[in-house]
Amino acid sequence: MMRRTDVLVIGAGPAGIAAATAAAKNGCSTIVLDDNVAAGGQIWRGGIDSARTKEDPAKTKAIAALRSSGAEILAGRQVVDQPAPGVLRAVITMADGTRAESFAWDRLILATGARERFLPFPGWTLPGVFGAGGLQALVKGGFYVEGKRVVVAGSGPLLLAVAAHLQEYGAKVVAIAEQAPLRQLLPFAASLLGSSLGKLLQGARYRASLARTPYRMGCWPVAVEGEESVRGVRLTNGRRVWSEPCDLLACGFHLVPNTELAELLGCKLRGDFVEVNVRQQTSVANVFCAGEPTGIAGLEAALIQGEIAGLSAAGAAREASELYGRRSREQAFARRLEAAFRLRPELRSLAVPDTIVCRCEDVPFSQLQEHISWTDAKLQTRCGMGPCQGRICGSAVQTLFNWRATSVRPPLFPVPLEVFDSEEISISPETIVH
Amino acid sequence: MRGFDVLILGAGIVGCACALECVRAGLRVGIVERDVPGGATTAAGMGHIVVMDDSPAQLALTRYSRSLWQELLPHLPVGVEYERRGTVWVAADDEEMGEVHAKRKTYALAGVESEVLDARALAAAEPNLRAGLAGGLLVLDDAVIYPPTAAAFFLHEAVRGGAVLLRGQGADHIGKGIVTLRDGTTYAADRIVVATGADIALLPSLPIQKRKGHLLITDRYPGFLHHQLVELGYLKSAHQISSDSVAFNIQPRLTGQLLIGSSRQYGNENPGIDQRILRSMLERARSYMPALAGISGIRAWTGFRAATPDKLPLIGPTDDPTIFLAMGFEGLGITNAPGAARLLVDGLLGRVPGIDATPFLPSRIALMETKHA
C-alpha cells in the first residue's frame, strides 16, 4: 500500500505532535507515524491504568490540538527503510502478521526523540536491571513493582521523575544515585530559578514525594550484586564503596538522540546531533528535524522546534520566525542541561574484562579493547551488528572508547522477509534475469 | 627511505594471505592499508569456501585453495568460524538434474568428492526447501568461514613473523620499485604486490570491473538450515556479463543466522541498496524456501566484486618487473586467497607451483600500463 501526503511526520512525541499540528493547520495534508500504540512519545507515555496515570495538562492540550488540526495519526508503525527517494516504508504488526505500508512525502519532519544511554558495569545484564525510563514504561504497561526495593541510578533529570513515578506505584525507592556532582548541578538549578520556574517546581514536587529517599549527587553504581538476579547494587561516591540491597535497579545515563533515520536519509550530523538551520531544516532538501535529535533540550524545546518545523514545512515562514526567540531561550536551557549532567570520567572504567558490552552478540569489554577503531572492532567482534543495530552498545562504546558508531544499514528495525515484496512501489519492472 | 623485499598494497584477505606466504618464505614484508584491514570486499562477502567448476583453471585453483584451507584448519582461531557445512547445488527440475550428474563427473575427475541427492534425499537434508525440487549435488568438503577474522588471522600471523603493517594511507602511485603514499611518504621494495581488490586507481588500465552484490542477514534461527545452498541457475546468472541478475544462495552461520544472497550488477558503483534488486533476490530465496517469509531480516548491505573479462584472477608479474598482481577474484577471493598467495610467492621465488599458474598470469591480458609519478 502506498499513500501520498504533503507532510509526513515521524514520531508522535511532543515535537512530532507540534509539527503535525502546525503543518495541518496551515493547509497541508499531514500524516504522523509513531511506533508506540498511542501518541505522546516517551515523556507523555500513557498507562493502562488510567485512574493512576495523571495526564500532563500540556499533553491533553497538545493532543486535542492535533486531533482538531486534521492531521492523521497512524500508531504502531515502525519506519524501516527508504524504498525510493521521497518514500519511507513502515511496518505494522497485527495479529495475522506484519504488513508494510509506504508513504510518499513532499516534506518530511523527523521527530524521532531520544533513548537512554546505558553504560556497562559488572552485573548490568542481570535480570532485575532495567533502564530508568524503561522501567517506568514497563510499570505504566502493568509491570508490578509494589513493595519492591528499587535503586534508581545514572544521570539526568529523568531519574527524579522515574523515582517519583515508581514510588506512586508502590515501589520503595531506597536510593537515587546521580553521577553528576553537586558543584556541576548547582549552576543548573540556580538558572532554573531565573528562567524556568515551572521546571524547578516540577523537580521540587518530585523531590517532595520522595522526601524520605536519599538523593545522592556525585554517586554512581560500580557493580550489581547477585548471581541469578539483582540482590543489591554497589554504589560509590569516589571515596568509599557501599552496598545498597534492592530487588530492582533502574539505571540510565541521561539520553542519546535517535538519529538513525536521519543518517539513513543522508542528513548531516554535527557531533551526535542532526544539523538543522533556523527553519529546522536538515542538510537534505525538504527534510526537517525537531526535538531531541537536534540536541537534548527537553519538552518545551521539543514543542517549539516542532512547531517551527511544521510551519516551515508548510511554507509559513513569518509565523515560524516569530518563535525563534522562545527557541533560543530553550536552547540556552539545553546547554546548561548538557553541562550539568556531563558524564564523569570514572564511568568509562567501570567495565571489567568479562563485562558484556554488546548484548546482541555477547561481546565482552576485553575483546573490544584489542581494537583501534569502531570499524575494526565491529568487523572482528560483530559488536553492534545484532538485531538492535548498535542502538544500545553504540552509545556505550562511544563513551568508553570515544568511537563513533558510523554506519546505519537498512532495515532500521528487524522485519520479516515477507515485507520485502508485500507492498507496491511503483518501480518499472526492468530486466531481472534469473 | 625504508625498504622491503615485498610491499603488498591492500590488507584484504588476499593481501593478508600474500603477506603471510611471503613472511614464511623469509622475505621482509610491508603491507599498506589505507583504512581497515579486511574492511572492504572481504567484509562484504559471504565467506563460502567452494570448489567451482565453471572453467578448468577455476576448478584447479579453487580445489587447490580449499585443500590449503584444510591444512590451515588446525591453526585457525575459533573466531574464524570455519565449519565444514558442504555446498548443495539445488536442481529445480530434470534439466538441472542433468547438470547435477555432469557436475558430479567433473568433480570426480578432479578428485573432488560429491554426492548426488535425489528429491527425497534433498528434502531430508534441507527440510525447509520447497517441495517438488528435483534434487541436488552435495559437495562435502566445502565450508563456511567469517572472512574478516580470517583476514585478521593471516595478518596477525604475518606481523608476528616480522611483517610491518603500514596503516592509514593508501598508495598514490607505484613503479620502478618505489611506492609513494598519499601523504608523500615513499618506500622502496624489490617487489610490489597490488592486492587492492576492486579498486584499480593505481593501475587504471586493468580490465577489472566492479560487480555489485547485495546480501541480507537474519536474526538467529539455529537448525533452520544445514548446508550452504546454491541454485544451479546460479552459474547461468554468474556468467551473465551484461545484465543484472539474482540467484538463490543461502548460508548458515555458526551463530544460527542466515546470510541470504545473491545479486550481480555491472555499471553500478553506488553503494546504496537497490530496492528492486534486493526485492527480487529475496523473492528468489523465498521461492526456494517459503518459510523464509516469516524470518526476521536484520541488515542488508552491498559490496563490490572485482570482475575480470575471463572470470579468472590476475596473479603474477606485469610489464613492470617490480609490479605483481593478486586481484580480480570476483566472488571467489575468500576461497582463493591461500591458493593465490602460494602461486604468487612461488612465482616470486621461482619455485615450482602446486598447480599450473599460467591461466592466471596477467600477461594473458595485454594492457599493463601503470600510473607512474
Q: Does B300 sit within 8 Å of A409, measured CB to CB?
A: yes
Predicted confidence (pLDDT) at residue B368 exceeds the cutoff of 50? no
A200 and A314 together in one domain? no
User: Is residue B284 predicted with pLDDT exceeding 90?
Assistant: yes
In terms of Cβ atoms closer than 10 Å to its own Cβ (0-12, 13-18, 19+), residue B169 is middle
Peptide bond into A387 cis (omega under 30): no
Cell of A246: 534492592
**Cα pseudo-dihedral A378, A380, A383, A385, rounded to 10:** 70
Instruction: From residue A106, give the alpha-carbon distance in Å to each of A17, A74, A178, A320, B271.
Output: 18, 18, 44, 19, 25
Q: How confident is the model at residue A128 (pLDDT cuts 50, 70, 90)?
A: very high
Torsion of CA B174, B180, B186, B192, to 10 degrees: -30
Q: Answer yes or no: do A138 and A225 share one domain.
A: yes
In 10 A of CB B315, how many CB atoms? 31
Q: What is the pLDDT of residues A389-426, one digit of tens each?
A: 899 999 999 999 999 877 788 999 999 998 887 554 43
Cβ-proximal residues to B57 (8 Å cutoff; 6+ apart), any chain: B312, B356, B359, B360
Task: Of A133, A85, A122, A124, give the one whose Cα is nearest residue A105.
Answer: A85
Tell whether B292 lies on the interface with A, counting CB pairs under 8 A. Answer: yes
Cell of A336: 546548561
> What per-residue confidence (pLDDT) applies to B235?
61
CA distance A357 to A366: 9
Query: For residue A36, which phi and psi values (nearest 5 degrees)?
Result: -90, 175
Distance CA A394, CA A417 (A): 25
What is the maximum span of chain A, computed from C-alpha positions, in angstroms? 72
Asked if the Cβ–Cβ distance from A414 to B294 is below 8 Å, we say: no
Give every CB contact of residue A104 below 8 A, 6+ residues apart in sequence.
A2, A3, A4, A5, A86, A87
pLDDT at A51: 64
Residue A411 included in any domain: no
Report which residue type is found at B134: A
Q: Which secondary-structure segment (H or E) carries B322?
A: none
List CB contacts of A94: < 8 A, sequence separation 6 or more. Answer: none
pLDDT at B104 over 60: yes
pLDDT in tens, A276-328: 999 999 999 999 999 999 999 999 999 999 999 999 999 999 999 999 999 99
pLDDT (average), residues A189-209: 74
Q: Are A141 and A261 members of one domain? A: no
Domains and CATH numbers, chain B: 2-46+147-207+310-364 (3.50.50.60), 84-142+209-307 (3.30.9.10)
Contact of A203 with chain B, judged by CB distance below 8 Å, is answered with no
B11 pLDDT more than 70? yes
Instruction: Give me the half-sphere count of Cα atoms (radius 13 Å) on the Cβ side of residue B269.
Output: 5
* CA B371/CA A335 separation, integer angstroms: 52
User: Using a CB-CB distance cutoff of 8 angstroms, which residues of chain A are in contact with residue B274?
Assistant: none
In a domain, A409, yes or no: no
Name the least confident of A90-94, A279-283, B282-286, B332-336: A90-94
State which amino acid sits at residue A379.
Answer: L
- How far apart are alpha carbons A303 and A315 in whole angstroms? 18
Which residues 171-230 of B have a C-beta within 8 angstroms of A?
216, 218-219
The average pLDDT across B117-126 equals 98
**Pure H helices in A290-373:** 298-313, 317-321, 324-340, 365-369
| Interface predicted TM-score (ipTM) of this complex, two decimals | 0.88
Nearest to B243 by CA among B265, B270, B220, B268: B265
Residue B28 distance to chain A (closest CA, Å): 25
**Mutation target among A89, A263, A380 for the B interface, most CBs of B within 10 A:** A380
Residue A306 lies in a domain: yes
Record: contact A431-B243, CB cut-off 8 A? yes
Please tell me the distance in Å from B113's CA to the nearest CA on chain A: 28
A16-45 mean pLDDT:
94
Contact B225, B126 (CB under 8 A): yes
Average pLDDT score over residue span B104-130? 98
Q: Which domain holds residue A365?
A: 351-401
Q: A-contacting residues of B 90-149, CB under 8 Å?
A: 148-149
Backbone angles phi, psi at B93, to 5 degrees: -145, -175
A122 and A247 together in one domain: yes
Q: What single-letter amino acid sits at A53?
A: T
Q: Encode pLDDT of A233-251 as tens digits.
A: 999 999 999 999 999 999 9
Q: Is the distance from CB of A358 to CB of A365 less than 8 angstroms?
A: no
A317 and A333, same domain (yes or no):
yes
How far, in Å, CA of A276 to CA of A290, rounded?
9
Using CA atoms in the order B358, B361, B367, B372, what is the torsion angle rounded to 10 degrees?
-150
pLDDT score at A188: 85
| Other C-beta atoms lying within 10 Å of the C-beta of residue B247 | 24
Give B293-349 pLDDT, tens digit per residue: 999 999 999 999 999 999 999 999 998 989 999 999 999 999 999 999 999 999 999
- Do A414 and B37 make contact, defined as CB atoms within 8 angstroms? no
Q: Are residues A270 and A249 part of one domain? A: no
Q: For residues B282 and B260, is the Cβ–Cβ distance under 8 A?
A: yes
Is A380 in CB contact (< 8 Å) with chain B? yes
In Å, what is the CA distance from B176 to each residue of A97, B55, B173, B349?
64, 35, 11, 19
**Residue A433: DSSP 8-state:** B
Q: Are the C-beta atoms of A263 and A165 separated by less than 8 Å?
A: no
- 3-state secondary structure (DSSP) of residue A7: strand
Copy the grid coordinates of residue A373.
Answer: 577503531
pLDDT band at A431 (very low <50, low <70, confident <90, very high): very low
Structural Rg of chain A based on CA atoms: 22
With an 8 Å Cβ cutoff, is B270 touching chain A? no
Q: Would you call A276 helix, strand, or coil by DSSP?
A: coil
CA distance A95 to chain B (A): 13
Asked if residue A424 belongs to a domain, the reply is: no
Tally of CB atoms within 10 A around A302 = 29
Interface test with A, best of B236, B299, B301 (most A CBs within 10 A): B299
Look at residue A413 and tell me if it is in a domain. no
Q: Do B79 and A380 touch (CB under 8 A)?
A: yes
Choosing from A313, A338, A363, the residue where a domain stops is: A338
Peptide bond connecting A69 to the previous residue in cis, omega within 30 degrees of 0: no
- Indicate if A274 and A397 belong to the same structural domain: no
Cα-only R_g, chain B: 20
Write the CATH number for A212.
3.50.50.60
| B348 close to B6: Cβ distance less than 8 angstroms | yes
The pLDDT tens digits for A162-198 are 999 999 999 999 999 999 999 999 888 888 776 666 7
A377: which chain B residues are within 8 Å (Cβ-Cβ)?
A: none
* Encoded amino acid at A294, one letter: T
Do A160 and A185 lie in one domain? The reply is yes
What is the rounded distance in angstroms from the CA atom of residue A117 to the CA atom of residue A336? 19
Among the residue ranges A383-392, B45-54, B240-249, the one predicted with the least confidence is B240-249
Q: Are B5 and B162 in contact (CB under 8 A)?
A: no
Structural domain ending residue among the three candidates A192, A220, A253: A253
Predicted local distance difference test score (pLDDT) of residue A430: 34
CB contact set of B215 (below 8 Å; sequence gap of 6+)? B44, B45, B46, B259, B260, B261, B262, B300, B301, B302, B303
Can you give the pLDDT at residue B207? Answer: 92
For A242, the grid coordinates are 557501599
At A206, the pLDDT band (50, 70, 90 cuts) reads confident
Does B252 touch chain A if contact means CB atoms closer than 8 Å?
no
B124: pLDDT strictly greater than 80: yes
| Collapsed DSSP state (helix, strand, coil) of residue A341 | coil
In-domain check, residue A227: yes
- DSSP bridge partners of B117: B136
Cell reading at B364: 594473458
Tell me what the pLDDT averaged over chain B comes to.
94
Would you say residue A367 lies in a domain? yes
DSSP, residue by residue, A228-258: SS--EEEEE-SS-EEEEE-SEEEEEESEEE-
DSSP state of B83: B
Report which DSSP code applies to A361.
T
Neighbours of A75 (CB within 10 A): 15
Contact B152 A373 (CB under 8 A): no
The distance of B151 to chain A (nearest Cα, Å) reads 10
B240 in A contact zone (CB under 8 Å): yes
**A177 and A194 belong to one structural domain:** yes
Residue B240: pLDDT over 70: no
A266 and A305 within one domain: yes
Q: Do A41 and A77 have their domain in common? A: yes
The C-alpha cell at A181 is: 556532582
A396 part of a folded domain? yes
Distance CA A398, CA A388 (A): 16
Domain count within chain A: 3
Asked whether B144 and B81 are in contact (CB, 8 A), the reply is yes
Residues of B in contact with A389 (CB under 8 A): 298-299
Nearest to B299 among A380, A389, A417 (CB): A389
Residue A352 sits at the vertex; the CA angle it makes with A350 and A354, to the nearest 5 degrees, is 140
Contact yes or no for A155/A131 (Cβ under 8 A): no
pLDDT given at position B372: 42
Residue A213: phi and psi, rounded to 5, are -95, 125
Name the strands in the sheet holding B296-307, side by side, starting at the edge strand that comes first in the sequence: A415-416, B296-307, B209-220, B257-266, B245-252, B228-231, B87-91, B135-139, B114-118
Give B130's DSSP letter.
P
Which residues in chain B are contacts of A376 at CB distance < 8 A? 36-37, 39
Pick the last residue of a domain from A253, A272, A304: A253
Question: Using one digit for the tens of pLDDT, what is the confidence trace for B44-89?
Answer: 999 999 999 999 999 999 999 999 999 999 999 999 999 999 999 9
- Please judge whether B275 and A83 are an interchain contact, meaning their C-beta atoms are less than 8 angstroms apart: yes
Residues A194 and A262 in one domain: no
B276 at A interface, C-beta within 8 A:
yes
Lowest mean pLDDT among A74-83, B112-121, B262-271: B262-271
> What average pLDDT does range B94-99 have in this prediction?
95
